[in-house]
Amino acid sequence: MSSKHLGTSLIGCFAITRSPLRFVLVAAFLALAACASQNVSPPTTIEKPVDKSEVARMYATVLENVHKMYLDEIPVEELALSGLAGLSKLEPGAIVKRKEDRVDLQINGTSVGFVAAAPRNDSDGWASAIEDLIKSGRKASTKLAKAEIENIYKVTIDAILVDLDRYTRYDGKQAGLRNRESREGFGGIGVSIVGHDQGVRVKAVSSDLPASRAGIVAGDIIVNIDGMPLRGLSLRRIVRLLRGPLSKPVQVTVQRENQSAPIDLLISRTRIIPTTVFYQARDRYAYLKVTGFNQDTTTELSENVQKAVREFGGALDGIVIDLRGNPGGLLDQAVSAADLFLQTGRISTTRGRHPDSLQLFDASEGEIAQDIPLVLLVNGASASASEVLAAALQDHGRAVLIGSNSFGKGTVQTVIRLPNEGELILTWARLHSPLGFDLNRIGVVPAFCTSGAKDIATVLKRSLGNPAPRAQIAASHAMTNKTRATAGKECPWQPQEGDDVDIAVAKRILEKPDLYKHALGHSAPTAGS
**Is 395 among the residues known to form the active site?**
yes
- Domain membership of residue 435 (yes or no) is yes
- Domain membership of residue 325 (yes or no) is yes
Domains identified in the chain, total number: 3
- The CATH number assigned to the domain holding 430 equals 3.90.226.10
- Identify whether residues 422 and 377 lie together within a single domain: yes
| pLDDT score, position 504 | 93
- The CATH number assigned to the domain holding 216 equals 2.30.42.10
| pLDDT score, position 263 | 93
The contacts of residue 460 (CB under 8 Å, 6+ apart) are 448, 505, 508
In order along its 529 residues, the chain shows pLDDT tens digits of 433 322 222 222 222 222 333 445 554 433 333 333 222 233 333 333 335 799 999 999 999 999 999 999 999 999 999 999 999 999 999 999 998 899 999 999 999 999 999 999 999 999 999 999 999 999 999 999 999 999 999 999 999 999 999 999 999 998 888 788 777 778 899 998 999 999 999 999 988 889 999 999 999 999 999 999 999 999 989 998 999 888 789 999 999 988 889 999 999 998 888 889 999 999 899 999 999 998 899 999 999 999 999 999 889 999 999 999 999 988 999 999 999 999 999 999 999 999 999 999 999 988 899 889 999 999 999 999 999 999 999 999 999 999 999 999 999 988 899 999 999 999 999 999 998 888 887 889 898 989 888 888 888 887 776 555 445 444 433 444 455 556 556 788 877 665 689 999 999 999 998 888 888 875 443 333 3
Question: Which of 296, 317, 395, 502 does the annotation list as catalytic?
Answer: 395
- Identify whether residues 415 and 284 lie together within a single domain: yes
CA angle, residues 292, 296, 299, in degrees to nearest 5: 110
Q: Name the CA radius of gyration of the chain, rounded.
A: 26
| pLDDT score, position 103 | 96
Last-in-domain residue among 213, 245, 272: 272
Q: What is the span of the domain harbouring residue 48?
A: 44-182
- Domain membership of residue 429 (yes or no) is yes
**Is 451 among the residues known to form the active site?**
no
Closest CA to 325 of 403, 256, 421, 217: 403
- Identify whether residues 363 and 414 lie together within a single domain: yes
- Identify whether residues 343 and 489 lie together within a single domain: yes
- Domain membership of residue 441 (yes or no) is yes
- Give the integer Cα–Cα distance in Å for 500 and 126: 56
- Identify whether residues 222 and 338 lie together within a single domain: no
- Identify whether residues 194 and 212 lie together within a single domain: yes
- Identify whether residues 167 and 220 lie together within a single domain: no
- Domain membership of residue 354 (yes or no) is yes
- Give the integer Cα–Cα distance in Å for 395 and 466: 18
Looking at the whole model, is its pTM more than 0.85?
A: no
Question: Which of 336, 409, 433, 463 does the annotation list as catalytic?
Answer: 409
Question: Which of 123, 302, 384, 433 does the annotation list as catalytic?
Answer: 384
- Identify whether residues 361 and 320 lie together within a single domain: yes
- Domain membership of residue 205 (yes or no) is yes
- Identify whether residues 335 and 405 lie together within a single domain: yes
- Identify whether residues 199 and 52 lie together within a single domain: no
| Alpha-helical regions (H) of 228-368 | 235-242, 297-312, 331-339
**Is 409 among the residues known to form the active site?**
yes
| pLDDT score, position 15 | 23
- Identify whether residues 290 and 254 lie together within a single domain: no
Cα dist from 475 to 471, 488, 517, whole Å:
7, 16, 21
**Amino acid identity, position 111:** S
- Domain membership of residue 5 (yes or no) is no
Encode 162-188: b = buried (16+ Cβ within 10 Å), e = exposed: eebeebbbbbbeebbbebbbbbbbbbb
Last-in-domain residue among 151, 182, 213: 182
Q: Quick check: 487 and 442 in contact, CB under 8 A?
A: yes
DSSP code, position 495: -
Last-in-domain residue among 141, 160, 182: 182
Cα dist from 415 to 21, 96, 144, 171, 296, whole Å:
5, 29, 29, 10, 19
| pLDDT score, position 161 | 97
| pLDDT score, position 476 | 37
CB-based burial label for 365 (10 Å; 0-12, 13-18, 19+): exposed
CA 57 to chain centre: 27
- Domain membership of residue 33 (yes or no) is no
- Identify whether residues 243 and 331 lie together within a single domain: no
